[in-house]
Amino acid sequence: MKKEGEQERWMGEGEKEMRKENRRRGGDEGRREGLRGGEKADLLSDSRKPSADRQRRAPGLRGAGGGAQVLGLASVVLTAVWMGHYRGGFSWDGSSFQFNVHPLCMVLGLVFLQGDAILVYRVFRNEAKRNVKILHGIIHLLALVVSIVGIVAVFDFHRAAKIPDMYSLHSWCGMLTIVLFCVQWVMGLMFFLFPVASSWLRASYLPVHVFCGLALVVMPSYSTFPAEGVLANVLGLVLVLFGVVLCYLITREEFRRPPNPEEESLSVHFKTLTEGGTPDSP
């Protein structure tokens, strides 16, 4: 009986020790979980804060962007002076003064505004990407409207002067530019602003979209107008410089807009919904 009592006492003490050990382990696990949870919360909080690198503008971007604006505005002003001073001004009566509306609208729409639409991804590097996309599309739409006004002006002038339409290489290049511009805008709307394609297809089309956008800026610069002395030569030089600066800004990797964590997360979820994958799938 005495041995049985001692065995029961030892068993009771062993159970107490096991309970203490379990409580100690549970406390350690709780503390570790708490630390891990705190670390996750800190990481999540940090990810939502824009990093200093993302907030800081890339070196040279401010100067190059300002230079592009000066050159673009200079090209519009020089065209207006050329048509207004040397060609008699502007009107909408079927006369040669109505034709002067055409080059002004082409430079304003297809060169300056389209260039600005492309540059929004460099200038607003730290803004929400959807907002930048909307601004990109709106400026492109404004450029398209201005360009269509220029096209209508020259067709009205041809009709009043009984000049056949689409008879020159310049008119062919101009009409091709407008058609491609419309296609580019619609494709951008469907692929990026209101995406209906898969993430793989959008990623494949993006380089084509960028290249076509730059090409559409350059195309009007090469279909220029008859020379008018020093002013026309200066305008041609400004247009070329504007295209060079624009290409420099778009092709420099350090000027690219950095994605923020929220946009990367949305991209992963969109890929999951459209392709049926999981967030861990490539």
pLDDT category, 221, cuts 50, 70, 90? low
CB 180 within 8 A of CB 71: no
Give CA–CA dist 220/222, Å, rounded: 5
Inform me whether the pLDDT recorded for 8 exceeds 80. no
Instruction: Estimate to the nearest angstrom the gap between the alpha carbon of 183 and the chain centroid.
Output: 17
Q: What is the largest CA-CA distance in the chain?
A: 129
Average pLDDT over residues 72-88: 91
- How far apart CA 10 and CA 4 sit, in angstroms, is 10
Q: What is the pTM of this model?
A: 0.63
- pLDDT tens across 162-191, in order? 988 888 777 887 888 899 899 988 888 888
Beta-ladder partners of 165: none
128 vs 11, higher pLDDT: 128
Nearest Cα neighbor of 76 from 193, 221, 235 is 235
Separation between Cα atoms, residue 261 and residue 245, nearest integer Å: 30
Q: Is 228 helix (H, G, I), strand (E, B) or coil?
A: strand
Residue 206 has pLDDT above 90, yes or no: no
Assign domain 61-256 to a CATH class: mainly alpha
